Amino acid sequence: MTDPLAASGIVVVDKPEGMTSHDVVARLRRIFGTRKVGHAGTLDPMATGVLVAGIERGTKLLAHLVAEDKVYETTIRLGAATTTDDAEGEVTATTDASGVTDEQIATAIEHLTGDIMQVPATVSAIKIDGKRAHELARAGEQVDIPARPVTVHSFEYTVRRGEHVDIDARVHCSSGTYIRALARDLGEHLQVGGHLIALRRLRVGPFSLDEASTLTDLEASPALSLSMDEALTRGWPVLDVTQDEYEALAMGKWLEPRGLKGVHAAQGPDGRVVALVKEQGKRLATTFVARPSTLS
């Protein structure tokens, strides 16, 4: 029997510099010949690396991937603050950073590691009263974004001193962490200003740069990085269900609890995943149905 989800899944793209995430989606729509393309986790135009895109029904899976942790490689330049907290913005202040010691940098980075409160970058995709923060900022409006809790799991770095004081870092962080904001805050802690001059995302949850394809590769040979089943079993622990249970979940029905913790991918006897499930009170309920009974 033909799988109705054969054309659905995930594409891990190595986004090039200079393109917006929306630009990448537009290219993928042409490459795969479908309007049903979306992405999880926006990358700024200057950033490169892992951009996870959903194709066909894979777009429905993206909302469940947004909460995944991420790993970045970045370079932070001390001594200048910019309007966008990165090299694309206008410089608002400069300070000689040559006198900043390694010990001061270590203390500042320690302060920005672990569970912290972070004010997102002003030029960001966060919505304020229904409008994107970057749209308000570019229109000259005052943008006041409240601080939010994020987690910087690790902040490994080396310092390069020459014409500039640059910090090359590898950051493992929770979803919602702005690396540009880390650069800004690091500069503020050191009282010299700081901004990003390079950013590359190495991993989003279980999806890494190792399996990413360039747009050029995809144009030459369009192919999913992972099928729906592969993406679901990669991202969540597997729960084997019977055929009767599979059919019940396909209709959105709930099952008896199993004592599970967290979200699981419910996999039928044929190896296909029917849904993501999670225990809620006295029932095992679906949080996302990959193969609804209405799908044909």
Place of tokens 């974004």: 145
Maximal CA-CA distance, the chain: 69
Q: Is 185 a catalytic residue?
A: no
Beta bridge partners of 127: 132
Q: How many degrees, rounded to 5, is the angle at CA 120 between CA 142 and CA 90?
A: 60
| Residue 236 near residue 13 (C-beta atoms within 8 A) | no
Tokens found for residue 42: 């926006």
The span from the CA of 107 to the CA of 146, in Å, is 25
β-pairing verdict for 127-128 and 131-132? antiparallel
Of 220, 209, 177, 221, the residue nearest 16 (C-alpha): 209
Say which of 44, 85, 185, 229 is annotated catalytic: 44
Catalogue the active-site residues. 44
